[in-house]
Amino acid sequence: MSNERIVGIDLGTTNSLVAYMEGDRPVVIPGEDGLNLVPSVVALDGNGQIVVGSAARKFLIETADHTVYSVKRLMGRGVEDVRDELKLFPFRLAEDLAAGEVLRIKLGDKTFTPPEISAFILRQLKRNAERYFAAPVTQAVITVPAYFNDAQRQATKDAGRIAGLEVLRLVNEPTAAALAYGLDKKETATVAVYDLGGGTFDISILKLHEGIFEVIATNGDTHLGGDDIDNLLITIALSDIEGDLGVDIRRNTEIVQGIRKAVIEAKIALSSNEKTVLNVELPGGKRYQREITRAQFEQLIQPVIDRTIGPVRQAMKDAGLKATQIDEAVLVGGSTRIPRVRQLVEELFERKPHSDLNPDEVVALGAAVQANILAGGSEATKEMLLLDVTPLSLGIEALGGVVAKIIHRNSTIPASATEHFTTGVEGQTNVAIHVLQGERELAKDCRSLARFDLRGIPPMPAGLPRIEVKFLIDANGILHVSARELRSGKEAEIEVQPSYGLTDEQVENMILESFDKAEEDFRQRQVIEARNEAETMLTALEKGRKNVAWEQLSSQERTNVGKLETALRAVMQEEDYQSIRSAIDALNQGTMRLAELMMDSAVGAALKGQNMDTADVGEGPESPHPIASAEIER
Amino acid sequence: MAQTEQKKRGPSDSGILVVTQTKPPTANCWSCGAMRAAHFCQQCGKVQPPAPVDYFSFFGLPYKLNLEPDKLEREFYALSRHLHPDINAVSSDREQQWSLEQSSQLNDAYRTLKDPITRTEYLLRLQGVQLEEQSKAATEEARRTGKVKKQVVPPDLLEQVFELNMQLEEARMNKKMGEPDRNLERELQDTKKQLQAKYDGMMAELHAAWNEWDTLVERTGQGDTVLEDDRLAVRDKMVDVLNRRSYLRNLLRDIDEVLESQ
């Protein structure tokens, strides 16, 4: 066992956090800015560098097309799933996406898959932890919404791998929160965790018994959260402003981002104030202001928060419990700060919900507890064990497009099911199996997970082969499939065609070390370009020395130029493009007077009937400085 | 697999009353060499390679249908503390794989046995019964032929079901039109009560059959010779009750759906 610390990560829609167990308490690790929350925002700055978190946030408004946020909504999803999403979120998808391909999002002129974007956030958290510990961090527990399906979980695991993290476990967010809450509660209790975050909603019912956290039922909606509330307010502001200005501003990402920022501020203010003013600065010095009362706000968001009722009722029904049998209700996620949401939870469970722990941090703290359990436990966690469930039923498509369920929702994981298949045609050597996730009766209404192609079945008469296929959902909620032909005992070869997701090979190629290499490539290109520029500069200086203007410089000026030249020649041999550039700038400054004198003499010569070419003023007509080369196109 | 072995020893009808249970091979612990307990080593606590056993044997239980849920739960928690992948997260790859397989077997077994109906269905399947409606075989058959699984209406319900389906259809129509019919609802409530009573009666029948079965198991355990006919009689009784029960349960669910959404 290594002594390396395993961290717990909450990879959120809006904010992400990293935490670990310090002694017997989980603590959040702050970033360099001293803040616990890392906004889940990724931007490409002017130098083509990836920026994450608070630093990336300012780009949301300045260069919105170089910025991505709420990418969690796109994890493990296909083009056809996100159509509606795209109307409300300024995600810019690559134009050349083929059907069934993993989404790629444009960031400036580059494109990235959602797991890659998430990996940038994870890498930032990894760095924050490494900075804090002054030691490398390579293993993590990452939380996911309980209602995430197989593809969304796999995408999260892939993101970890791309970021250079071994994901020891994916933990469901409400369960993680229960772990954080249950740390010092050893008695038996039934707990409901209501988790309304930035983009997802989960409800989990757990039974706590002597340190065992047994999830009895879970439900949710992976597209329901604070973002939806923001979008309601944005829609109102947009139509108001358009009415005023008489122009369509929906495509103006800068304005929309400005509105989004203002709307979020107003929403937060309304959790503590009875009214607030929605305040948006518009281009041309105009300003949009609108007063919103809490009553108006609550009326507006009621339909959104009512969407949590169905999943809560279903989870209670699945658990076979009535509200009165729930001992405690716990609030998780930033959106549970909204008083109307708290009121709803109180109504649903007929008791005041708990919110002692910071709803933004509790999931990360729980992830740290789970990380500690996985690492072998400590005094605080040695009795603790989490028994979670799969949120969705797993099924196989039968003839006629009907789904035959093989593992039901709310089954404790790991869970498995064995099914037998045979052939329908004489000598058939392949059998295709379509695996789906969901509760509906028909395959077309469920979520396609993958198509498995069983190959290498020994040719036999139809119906004779007996192919045993084992479906196993692991403790991360991810499906594994293996198959065997029983008559021959031969392991069947399985080819998996994931419906939404990256292949192993694709993930391998995306691993950020290779991206780090891309950064290395980028750096080397910069060095080469800087050297080329320096060469050009030095050649021009050679020419300048032969020019009459050189003699007009004072000896001190000439010595100075000589020193700067030596400095540039020395630094050119090194690998640091930034110091080469500063040496170039310094020489550029130092030869400014020489350049002016050369220009004067050239102009003089031109007046005497000579043209610019023969006057030899420098490298190009666009060059403002006869010695400096033209701006290099990058 | 254990079941297939038992089948081989049985008469033409594949089921026999099983008392000789399948036990995991008593190999020594792969890690410390101590005589190992079934799933993990009592000495060093290491998880052992999974053995193919049926769900009853996994918990070391006899093939009886009455069991104490609290005891089963305690056993489930205790085994989880040794077998769960979280406990073995930093072990070798091989141990992690065993832990995954052992704990999925544990969870599958617990899930199947804790519910009395799935427990009965599972035992009947071990007895070689292909339950008409619930059986996987029927599902597979339906899957292969593309037919809808057949629902057999219990004869004593035939008339009532015909009437009820008409009422349900009418209630659904009313709901769609937004014109609820209070009289119809009352009638449905009444039917529900009647059916619920029938359902309770069936469950009592089932309980009686469990007791009969368990007595047979106990007698065999004591060395008594149990007549094949007695065993088949109890078995078929359970199959019959389960089939009627599942039909009735579906009807009750349909009524609930209509009444709830009013």
pLDDT in tens, A95-122: 777 777 788 888 888 889 999 999 999 9
Same domain? B73 vs B175: no
Residue length, chain B? Answer: 262
CATH 1.20.1270.10 intervals, chain A: 512-615
Cβ count within 10 A of residue B1 = 11
Same domain? B95 vs B189: no
pLDDT given at position A622: 38
Please say if A347 is a catalytic residue: no
The answer to whether B140 contacts chain A (CB < 8 Å) is: yes
The closest alpha carbon to A189, from A340, A351, A69, belongs to A351
Q: Quick one: what percent of chain A has pLDDT higher than 70?
A: 90
- The label of the residue with tokens 């402003």 reads A241
Residues B143, A1: C-beta atoms closer than 8 Å: no
Instruction: Decide: residue A571, CB within 10 A, 0-12 exposed, 13-18 middle, 19+ buried.
Output: buried
Half-sphere exposure of A61 (CA within 13 A, CB side): 13
**Long-range pairs of A505-508 with CB within 8 A, sequence gap ≥ 24:** A506/A102, A507/A115, A507/A158, A507/A161, A507/A162
Q: Are A234 and A259 in contact (CB under 8 A)?
A: yes
- The label of the residue with tokens 């249950």 reads A182
- Of A325-329, A365-369, B36-40, least confident by mean pLDDT is B36-40
Interface subset of A 224-253, CB within 8 angstroms of B: none
User: Among all residues of chain A, which has the CA nearest to that of B82?
Assistant: A385
Model pLDDT for residues A249-275, shown as the tens digit of each residue: 777 777 888 888 899 999 999 999 999
Give the mean pLDDT of A412-424.
88
User: Among all residues of chain A, which has the CA nearest to that of B87?
Assistant: A374
Same domain? B35 vs B78: yes
Does A634 have pLDDT greater than 70? no
The answer to whether A398 contacts chain B (CB < 8 Å) is: yes
Residues B86, A370: C-beta atoms closer than 8 Å: yes
Model pLDDT for residues A170-216, shown as the tens digit of each residue: 999 999 999 998 866 667 889 999 999 988 999 999 999 888 999 99
- For the CA atoms of A581, A586, A587, A592, what is the dihedral angle to 10 degrees? 130
The answer to whether B20 contacts chain A (CB < 8 Å) is: no
> A414 preceded by cis ω (within 30°)?
yes
pLDDT given at position B2: 32
pLDDT given at position A427: 84
Which architecture does CATH list for A512-615?
Up-down Bundle (1.20)
How far apart, in whole angstroms, are the C-alpha atoms of residue A279 and residue A265?
Answer: 9
Residues A212, B100: C-beta atoms closer than 8 Å: no
The answer to whether B61 contacts chain A (CB < 8 Å) is: no
Please give the residue range of the domain that contains residue B60. Answer: 2-126
Helices A555-572 and A577-590 sit at what angle, rounded to 10 degrees? 170
Residue at B153: amino acid letter: V
- Sequence-distant (6+) residues with CB within 8 A of B227 are none
User: Among all residues of chain B, which has the CA nearest to that of A377?
Assistant: B87
pLDDT given at position A96: 77
Tell which of A2, A209, A374 to mutate to test the B interface (max B CBs under 10 Å): A374
Query: Rounded to a whole number, what is the distance in Å from the CA of A382 to chain B's nearest CA?
Result: 10
Does A497 have pLDDT greater than 90? no
Q: Name the β-bridge partners of B95.
A: none
Give the mean pLDDT of A418-447.
85
Does B13 have pLDDT greater than 50? no
Q: Are A351 and A329 in contact (CB under 8 A)?
A: yes
The answer to whether B92 contacts chain A (CB < 8 Å) is: no
- The one catalytic residue in A116, A150, A158, A195 is A195
- Is residue B85 helix, strand or coil? coil
| Structure confidence at residue A169 as a pLDDT band (50, 70, 90) | very high
The answer to whether A422 contacts chain B (CB < 8 Å) is: yes
**B contacts of A473 (beta carbons < 8 Å):** 104
Q: Are A396 and A403 in contact (CB under 8 A)?
A: yes
- Sequence-distant (6+) residues with CB within 8 A of A64 are A90, A253, A254, A256, A257
- Of A100-114, A248-262, B12-26, B213-227, least confident by mean pLDDT is B12-26
- For the CA atoms of A217, A219, A225, A229, what is the dihedral angle to 10 degrees? -110
Residues B80, A414: C-beta atoms closer than 8 Å: no
Interface subset of A 470-489, CB within 8 angstroms of B: 472-475
How many angstroms separate the Cα of B146 from the Cα of each of A270, A400, A619, B142? Answer: 57, 6, 79, 5
Model pLDDT for residues B69-106, shown as the tens digit of each residue: 999 999 999 999 999 999 888 888 888 898 999 999 99
- Higher model confidence: residue A406 or residue A525? A406
- Of A27-31, A420-424, A509-513, B161-165, least confident by mean pLDDT is A509-513
**A contacts of B80 (beta carbons < 8 Å):** 212, 385, 387
Residues A420, B140: C-beta atoms closer than 8 Å: yes
Same domain? B12 vs B122: yes
Residue length, chain A? Answer: 634
Please say if A173 is a catalytic residue: yes
The answer to whether B143 contacts chain A (CB < 8 Å) is: yes
Q: Maximum Cα–Cα distance for chain A, whole Å?
A: 102
Same domain? B165 vs B113: no
pLDDT given at position A417: 92
What's the CATH class of domain A226-304? alpha beta
Q: Quick one: what percent of chain B has pLDDT higher than 70?
A: 77
**B contacts of A414 (beta carbons < 8 Å):** 85, 100, 103-104, 107
How far apart, in whole angstroms, are the C-alpha atoms of residue B50 and residue B58?
Answer: 10
Q: A176: phi > 0 → left, psi -120 to 50 → alpha, else beta; which?
A: alpha
Same domain? B177 vs B95: no
DSSP character at residue A38: E
Q: Are A194 and A203 in contact (CB under 8 A)?
A: yes
- The label of the residue with tokens 């058959």 reads B141
Q: Are A192 and A205 in contact (CB under 8 A)?
A: yes
Alpha helices in chain B (DSSP H): 2-9, 55-58, 69-83, 93-114, 116-126, 136-145, 158-177, 182-221, 228-260
CATH 3.30.420.40 intervals, chain A: 6-224+307-387
pLDDT given at position A249: 77
B85 vs A375, A414, A416: nearest CB: A414
The closest alpha carbon to A150, from A76, A70, A73, belongs to A76
**B contacts of A424 (beta carbons < 8 Å):** 144
- Is residue A397 helix, strand or coil? strand
pLDDT given at position A442: 84
- Sequence-distant (6+) residues with CB within 8 A of B115 are none
Sign of CA pseudo-dihedral B203, B209, B212, B213: negative
Q: How many Cβ pairs within 8 Å bridge chains A and B? A: 71
**B contacts of A413 (beta carbons < 8 Å):** 104, 107
Helices B182-221 and B228-260 sit at what angle, rounded to 10 degrees? 160
pLDDT given at position A55: 86
How far apart, in whole angstroms, are the C-alpha atoms of residue A92 and residue A102?
Answer: 14
pLDDT given at position A464: 84
The closest alpha carbon to B56, from B118, B147, B133, belongs to B118
Rg (CA), chain A: 31
Give the mean pLDDT of A600-620.
53
Model pLDDT for residues A567-595, shown as the tens digit of each residue: 999 998 888 888 888 899 899 888 888 88
The closest alpha carbon to A144, from A488, A440, A476, A387, belongs to A476
| Structure confidence at residue A613 as a pLDDT band (50, 70, 90) | very low
How far apart, in whole angstroms, are the C-alpha atoms of residue A597 and residue A603?
Answer: 10
Instruction: Decide: residue B123, CB within 10 A, 0-12 exposed, 13-18 middle, 19+ buried.
Output: buried
Q: Quick one: what percent of chain A has pLDDT higher than 90?
A: 38
Is B102 within a domain? yes
| Structure confidence at residue A364 as a pLDDT band (50, 70, 90) | very high
| Domain A6-224+307-387 CATH superfamily | ATPase, nucleotide binding domain (3.30.420.40)
Helices (H) then strands (E): counts for chain A:
18, 27
Is B78 within a domain? yes
Is B141 within a domain? no
Model pLDDT for residues B192-202, shown as the tens digit of each residue: 888 888 889 98
pLDDT given at position A493: 65
Phi and psi at residue A435, in whole multiples of 5°?
Answer: -100, 135
Q: Name the β-bridge partners of A170.
A: A142
Domain count, chain B: 2
The answer to whether A561 contacts chain B (CB < 8 Å) is: no
Is B138 within a domain? no
pLDDT given at position A115: 94
Q: Are A60 and A261 in contact (CB under 8 A)?
A: yes
Same domain? B122 vs B170: no
pLDDT given at position B258: 79
- The label of the residue with tokens 């979280």 reads B86
Which architecture does CATH list for A394-501?
Sandwich (2.60)
Residue at B128: amino acid letter: G
Rg (CA), chain B: 23
How far apart, in whole angstroms, are the C-alpha atoms of residue A73 and residue A81?
Answer: 10
> Final residue of a domain: which of B75, B110, B126?
B126
Model pLDDT for residues A41-68, shown as the tens digit of each residue: 999 888 888 889 988 888 877 777 888 8
Is B46 within a domain? yes
- Of A384-388, A605-609, B230-234, least confident by mean pLDDT is A605-609
How many angstroms separate the Cα of B94 from the Cα of each of A117, A371, B85, B91, B100? Answer: 33, 21, 12, 8, 10
Q: Are A82 and A103 in contact (CB under 8 A)?
A: yes
Give the mean pLDDT of A383-412.
89
| Structure confidence at residue B153 as a pLDDT band (50, 70, 90) | low
Q: For residue A575, what are its two tokens?
A: 């690998």
How far apart, in whole angstroms, are the C-alpha atoms of residue A301 and residue A228?
Answer: 9
Instruction: Decide: residue B180, CB within 10 A, 0-12 exposed, 13-18 middle, 19+ buried.
Output: exposed
The closest alpha carbon to A268, from A278, A258, A253, belongs to A278
How far apart, in whole angstroms, are the C-alpha atoms of residue A382 and residue A372?
Answer: 9
CATH 2.60.34.10 intervals, chain A: 394-501
How many angstroms separate the Cα of A89 from the Cα of each of A74, A250, B4, B177? Answer: 11, 11, 57, 38
CATH 3.90.640.10 intervals, chain A: 226-304
Phi and psi at residue A277, in whole multiples of 5°?
Answer: -115, 125
Residues B84, A475: C-beta atoms closer than 8 Å: yes
Q: What is the mean pLDDT of chain B?
A: 78
How far apart, in whole angstroms, are the C-alpha atoms of residue A469 and residue A471?
Answer: 6
Query: Rounded to a whole number, what is the distance in Å from the CA of B107 to chain A's nearest CA?
Result: 6
pLDDT given at position A285: 76
Model pLDDT for residues B132-146, shown as the tens digit of each residue: 544 445 555 555 555
- The label of the residue with tokens 């998996």 reads A496
How far apart, in whole angstroms, are the C-alpha atoms of residue B256 and residue B204?
Answer: 22
| Structure confidence at residue A284 as a pLDDT band (50, 70, 90) | confident
Is B170 within a domain? yes
Alpha helices in A114-199 (DSSP H): 114-133, 150-162, 173-181
Beta strands A189-196; A201-209: pairing state: antiparallel
The closest alpha carbon to A468, from A483, A458, A490, belongs to A483
Q: Are B100 and B186 in contact (CB under 8 A)?
A: no
Does A2 have pLDDT greater than 50? no
- Of A228-237, A321-330, B53-62, B220-229, least confident by mean pLDDT is B220-229
Residues A416, B104: C-beta atoms closer than 8 Å: yes
Please say if A516 is a catalytic residue: no
Does B169 have pLDDT greater than 90? no
The closest alpha carbon to A19, from A390, A318, A363, A419, belongs to A363
Tell which of A208, A387, A434 to mutate to test the B interface (max B CBs under 10 Å): A387
Cβ count within 10 A of residue A534 = 20
Please say if A195 is a catalytic residue: yes
How far apart, in whole angstroms, are the C-alpha atoms of residue B153 and residue B244?
Answer: 8
- The one catalytic residue in A116, A150, A158, A173 is A173
Beta strands A41-44; A50-52: pairing state: antiparallel
| Structure confidence at residue B7 as a pLDDT band (50, 70, 90) | very low
Does ipTM come in above 0.85?
Answer: no
